[in-house]
Amino acid sequence: MHKGIAIIVLFLPAVLRAQAPFRLAAGACDWERRTDVVWGARVRGFSSQYNTSTWSARMALGRPDVWPRYGDLHGAWAPRSGSSPTDFLEVMFPTPVQAAELWVFETNGTGAVYAVSAINPDGSVAPLAVATPERLPRAATQIVVPVEPARLVAGVRIGVSSGAADDYGEVDAVAAVPARACSGSGEFSAAASAMRLPPSAVPDPAPAGVVWARDVAERSSEGDARDRAAVQALGAPNVFPRYADMPGAWAPSSSDSRLESVVLRFPPTAAREILVYETYGVGGVWMVQDMSTGRPVAIWADAPGPVTPVEARQLRIVLPRPRTISALRVVSSPRVVDAYPMVDAVGLVPATAGAEARPKP
């Protein structure tokens, strides 16, 4: 099997938000007695599927077929590769649903699901829940994403990292309910919103008040020891708004690697936004994690995919609430964009910064 190419959907800030998303073991929520559950009815899109029958994307429609069993079993969607760093699935409801809670049934590769977003009635996507993908104890889980306040949701977009879970991340079913049904706590947190702005929408590449990265804590690789080293991601932008594979931005050593990352340190800053300047291989960056405590906490994530072959982008991440940050990990997948994802600068917009520090929306 071979990894498919993921197509990116830009997340725009939205009022829709999630509160305390979590995973539940089978039996922890008595949802089967409810008569108001709305199940997924059609597939809008996916990055890949194992086959066109027993593990196809349409296996995630309707009521669960595998649940509460766990395993690589017929009846759930599986991506093409069990080692892919990122895949996605989009499932739509018969009509937009007034949702207070969204459910995703994970029946293999527990821990692979790292992002759950709502698809709005207009087709746009609003991020709700995000977590660092990892290998968790092998058991079927029900991912519960409360939506507060409840509102119309047309579908659900799910991000999966089979590679991080060390097995095929498989989704058996997706549902929405109009009233809260389950309670618990777990690995997910409310996701930040983000959009990629072209240079024409960024009047000042280095807005006043932004706190720039000052030190490199670690990196997976670097293009060379000087011109494309990780230290090139420190300070204000050097390359942006230009788009080119040129000196002045951090680049990984290979354009064919599955995963690359750099951890950058900042003075502790209560931030409301994060700015990432992509100057080549735009769309390769797919996750940003808070590393302030040394333990990765996902802030924003999407499936990677080519965005533009001709323009740089400012990835503007808007946090759901101010967060004190002293270190960030920026994660990319060069192979998906078939290029070096180059990061020119990373900055924090303080919660106390004035309007002059805000990028043009």
Note down the domain range covering 305.
194-357
- The CATH number that applies at residue 255 is 2.60.120.260
Identify whether the C-beta of residue 102 lies closer than 8 Å to the C-beta of residue 148: no
Terminal Cα distance for the chain, rounded: 41
Measured CA to CA, the distance from residue 82 to residue 169 in angstroms comes to 7
Q: What is the pLDDT of residues 296-343, one digit of tens each?
A: 999 999 988 999 999 999 999 999 999 999 999 999 999 999 999 999
* Domain shared by 328 and 215, yes or no: yes
Residue type, 352: T
Supply the pLDDT for residue 356. 42
Supply the pLDDT for residue 5. 31
> Length of the chain in residues, anyone?
361
Residue 9 within a domain: no
From residue 149, how far is each of 14, 17, 93, 192, 247 by CA, in Å? 12, 8, 19, 17, 47
Q: What is the pLDDT of residues 80-125, one digit of tens each?
A: 999 999 999 999 999 999 999 999 999 999 999 999 999 999 999 9
* Domain shared by 204 and 317, yes or no: yes
Measured CA to CA, the distance from residue 79 to residue 139 in angstroms comes to 19
Domain end (from 153, 170, 191): 191
Question: Based on the structure, what is the number of domains in the chain?
Answer: 2
Give the burial string for 105-123 (b: 16+ CB within 10 Å, else e): bbbbbbbbbbbbbbbbeee
Beta bridge partners of 270: 324
Measured CA to CA, the distance from residue 29 to residue 181 in angstroms comes to 7
pLDDT at 359 over 70: no
* Domain shared by 345 and 256, yes or no: yes
Q: What is the pLDDT of residues 249-295, one digit of tens each?
A: 999 999 999 999 999 999 999 999 999 999 999 999 999 999 999 99
* Domain shared by 226 and 185, yes or no: no
Task: Find the angle CA(298)-CA(62)-CA(45) to the nearest 5 degrees.
Answer: 55
Residue 14 within a domain: no
Domain end (from 166, 191, 216): 191
* Domain shared by 278 and 317, yes or no: yes
Identify whether the C-beta of residue 314 lies closer than 8 Å to the C-beta of residue 308: no
From residue 103, how far is each of 38, 99, 165, 280 by CA, in Å? 10, 10, 20, 36
Domain end (from 142, 158, 191): 191
Identify whether the C-beta of residue 4 lies closer than 8 Å to the C-beta of residue 48: yes
Helices and strands (H, E) in the chain, number of each type: 2, 17
| Burial of 98 per CB tally in 10 Å (0-12, 13-18, 19+) | middle
Name the pTM for this structure. 0.87
* Domain shared by 246 and 177, yes or no: no
Measured CA to CA, the distance from residue 173 to residue 49 in angstroms comes to 15
Residue type, 72: D
